[in-house]
Structure 1
Amino acid sequence: MGLYSDELVEGIAGSPRIWIHAVSVGEVSAAMAVIESLFLLMPDCAVILSTTTEHGQAFAKDKLGSRGVCIYAPVDFVISVRKALAALEPDVLVCLETEIWPNWLLEAKRMGIKTVLVNGRISVRSIKGYLKIRPLIKATLKHISVFSMICQADAKRIEMMGAPPARIEINGNAKYDLLLQNTDTSVQTKMERLFCLKGGQPVFVAGSTRSSEEEIVLDVYEKIIRSVPETLLIIAPRHVQRAHQISTMVKDRGFSCQFRTDLNSNGLRTASIVIIDTIGDLQAVYSVASVVFCGGSLVPLGGQNVLEAAAWSKPVLYGPSMEDFLDAKELLDNTGGGIQVKDGRDLAEKAVYYLTNPDAADRIGVLAKKAVMSNHGAAGKHADVIYRLLNPD
């Protein structure tokens, strides 16, 4: 990779020309939030959106459509990068989140192309690796014009890696700007029909669960149904290919279960547990939850995005491991909308409490949504960084 067809290059219309690199679906979501703000600031700008994965490329084409050009990114070799930059001639190269590629940045600098890290984040786990090669990273970071980071902790870590403090800004998480747009009541109505929910039936959703967490969730569910026997459990594993493995686990525990895709085919839920075996449905599923547990957090895997459920005003429970989503946890902590649990026993106690005290669940759900709203506008701030870089006067 590194060369693009004449037809593609000639199809890039508008000025300034902005190349935004986002690896896959998650980064593309953040990129699109920033792009929407860029179009407001610079209606005539040309957007080039690159990805490295097939899913990311398909998602980018679907979201950007004819408003820009979607490409696969060149590999980080000097020749490939040099040819790509020479062919596309961007005025600015925008890297999303953790995309710090030495040859990209070096060649862009050599060619007089401005560079910026947007929606920047450096996790607790990754900082250790970066610091082991700090001289190399510091030499790479000097080529970046501005570091537009998500939160204070990310800003501190990028500074530890060698980024000049004067170039660092804190502007929130652009990805979360999209959450409130996806909370339409029609989505909730559709999910209620899909899961055959009637009369305010309580629902416990365990989202983005990892291996070993499902056993904990089933232990919790056994305790829940002693107090609230009509509760529906929905398990959405982080990796859908594990759905059949979880189904076996559920049946071994004596529960009935169905897959999300079963409901598509026969339209009738009869089981007490539903396993989500589809991609991209989780935020919609959260719409019908009474209480949510966000996975990847009772095991040392850094957690998952707790704000997807918070956007629906749901009580969100999560474990002690939230290293990869500290910004989201901090937003919840600031409003009092977060509910951290120590272990499975604590999760069961709190889940039962909120399922049996709907007024308390509603109150903390309001605080959770307030956390999402407090971040609103982050995409615009990141876009403004790019605008200022292109328009220094």
Structure 2
Amino acid sequence: MSRKLYSALLYLLAPLIWRRVRRERMTGRPRGERLGHIADMAGERVLWLHAASLGEVMTARPLIRALIDDYPEHRVVITTMTVTGAERVNALFGDLVTHFFIPLDFPGATRRFVERLAPEIAIIVETELWPNLIHACSLQGVPVTVVNARITERGFRRYRRFAGLMVPVIRQLSWVGAKSGEDAQRFRALGVPARRINVTGALKFDLQLDAQSVAAGRQLREAFGDRPVWVAGSTHEGEESQLLRAHATLRQRFPDALLVLVPRHPQRFDEVDALCRRQGLEVARRSAGDTVGATTAVYLGDTLGELMALYGAGDIAFVGGSLVDIGGHNLLEPAALGRAVISGPSLSSLGDVLDMLEKGRARLEARDADELGRTLVALIGDDDRRTELGEQARAVVAANRGALGHTRSYLAKLILAQELDRPLPEE
């Protein structure tokens, strides 16, 4: 498929695409942003980073902070696709950055956006490669980089299937900071010259423990009292029912055990609450400020941006998206807190992060609800084993930090090169 055919298909599907976008709307923000209608910044020095959703924003958090600190004379612009990502950007950085929604990948919208933004460099987190957006950057001479870059085996096959569309796009990348050697090889196989690829490691290992979140987790744990507490974070549809089965097994042995349940998507909070109550469980909701009493079985973490604090309030962390065919979510957040980490078997999106945890014997795997229940009972009953797993997880995170420094260094060279190419201001 060529880029022209791809663009024609986008126009044909425009009504459906726009309907989807209408659901991803942020109060007070014009829909025109999705078509590239933003303020003209051509007279400013702009560094642009794109983090598609909440997960990418959290991964990029230390890099965004570094850009703010390293380039005070630049405006740092962050784009997201989702509202949850936008809300997290605003909560973390406020007016230290400028946020826009990424334009839909129509040729006119992307060209308008890049012309008005006029960035010195485009930094894409992970692999959000939109053909027309990257082409628009190429037309304007904007170097496009990918940081924390990864291509799963499934994604690699998809790119190969649509080689006529994606390979020319990927070959336009100015630099790729790959998470692993395997990711680097896949980018190389898709046409990125070896001189434009460096293996930097995973930015997720450089996550910073926010003192406020750590303190909030400790305070919450004290409020729960002297009872077993496990946290299930970033859970999906079809997963919560399995987690509640495992919780029932745990409560047979430890009747006062508490499950802190944190669904991945905010629109499912009420649905998960209803699921718990249908099973006769007493639920307290964080958003309502409910008190956790002796008979509370589930504490529903129905807020945004508090997952680290909630992980910190537990003795054990289960990371969701892994008992259903999602590919798993960030195992490193509870690992950095020194919590014993459990996941299901579906972890295809984690790549080298999973490899490092495996080598460090820092994760347990439960294939289904029954095995998860047995694992929880064993860990709650064995303080030494639980502590050992948590310390091994913390050690893996500490040993693999460094991707931020490598990424920062390579981006500095590219930004300097762009500065040297800039015409001198007129006197």
Kept after mapping to 2: 8 A contact 1:241/1:277: no
Q: Structure 2 CA distance, aligned partners of 1:238 and 1:63?
A: 19
For 1:59, give the aligned amino acid. R
Q: Deviations over 1:58-97 (max 9, x none)?
A: 3323433333332233332333333333333222122221
Find out whether 1:81 has 2:110 as its counterpart. Answer: yes
Of 97, 102, 118, which residue of structure 2 is paired with 1:68? Answer: 97
Q: Structure 1 CA distance, aligned partners of 2:88 and 2:380?
A: 36
For 1:33, give the aligned amino acid. P
Kept after mapping to 2: 8 A contact 1:183/1:312: no
Q: Structure 1 CA distance, aligned partners of 2:203 and 2:360?
A: 19
Of 39, 45, 51, which residue of structure 2 is paired with 1:5? Answer: 39
Cα 1:266–1:318 shift into 2, 3 Å: closer
| TM-score with structure 1 setting the length | 0.88
For 1:220, give the aligned amino acid. A
For 2:236, give the aligned amino acid. R
Find out whether 1:234 has 2:260 as its counterpart. Answer: yes
Q: Structure 2 CA distance, aligned partners of 1:216 and 1:267?
A: 23
How much identity, in percent, do the aligned residues show?
A: 28
Q: Deviations over 1:323-382 (max 9, x none)?
A: 112233223113221112232232222211111001111011001111222332322322
Find out whether 1:97 has 2:126 as its counterpart. Answer: yes
Q: Deviations over 1:194-242 (max 9, x none)?
A: xx3223x211222222223223222222222233222212222223433
Kept after mapping to 2: 8 A contact 1:124/1:324: no
Q: What RMSD over aligned residues (CA atoms) do the two structures have, in Å? A: 2.6
Of 112, 117, 128, which residue of structure 1 is paired with 2:146? Answer: 117
SS at match of 2:209: helix
Find out whether 1:222 has 2:248 as its counterpart. Answer: yes
Q: Give the equivalent residue in structure 2 for 1:154.
A: 183
Kept after mapping to 1: 8 A contact 2:286/2:301: yes
Q: Structure 2 CA distance, aligned partners of 1:183 and 1:364?
A: 24
Q: Structure 2 CA distance, aligned partners of 1:72 and 1:185?
A: 31
Paired residues, number: 384
Structure 1, unmatched stretches of 5+, are none
Of 318, 340, 343, which residue of structure 2 is paired with 1:293? Answer: 318
Cα 1:163–1:220 shift into 2, 3 Å: same
Cα 1:43–1:280 shift into 2, 3 Å: closer
Q: Give the equivalent residue in structure 2 for 1:31.
A: 60
Matches for 1:271-350 after TM superposition, within 5 Å: 271-350=296-375
Q: Structure 2 CA distance, aligned partners of 1:77 and 1:105?
A: 11
Find out whether 1:208 has 2:234 as its counterpart. Answer: yes
Structure 1, 245-254 or 46-55: larger mean CA deviation: 245-254
Kept after mapping to 2: 8 A contact 1:296/1:302: yes
Cα 1:339–1:112 shift into 2, 3 Å: same
| TM-score with structure 2 setting the length | 0.81
Of 192, 195, 220, which residue of structure 2 is paired with 1:163? Answer: 192
Q: Give the equivalent residue in structure 1 for 2:74.
A: 45
Q: Deviations over 1:3-27 (max 9, x none)?
A: 4335x655x4xx5x32222223222
Kept after mapping to 1: 8 A contact 2:213/2:306: no
For 1:241, give the aligned amino acid. Q
SS at match of 2:176: strand
Q: Structure 2 CA distance, aligned partners of 1:188 and 1:102?
A: 42
Kept after mapping to 2: 8 A contact 1:33/1:175: no
Cα 1:254–1:135 shift into 2, 3 Å: same
Of 384, 390, 393, which residue of structure 1 is paired with 2:415? Answer: 390
Shift of 1:297: 1.0
Q: Deviations over 1:167-207 (max 9, x none)?
A: 221212324423423575422233125xx3223x2112222
Q: Deviations over 1:26-57 (max 9, x none)?
A: 22333332122234444433322222333333
Q: Which has the higher contact order (CA 8 A, sep 6+)?
A: 1
SS at match of 1:324: coil
Structure 2, unmatched stretches of 5+, are 1-34, 421-427
Q: Give the equivalent residue in structure 1 for 2:398.
A: 373
Shift of 1:322: 0.3
Kept after mapping to 2: 8 A contact 1:21/1:95: yes
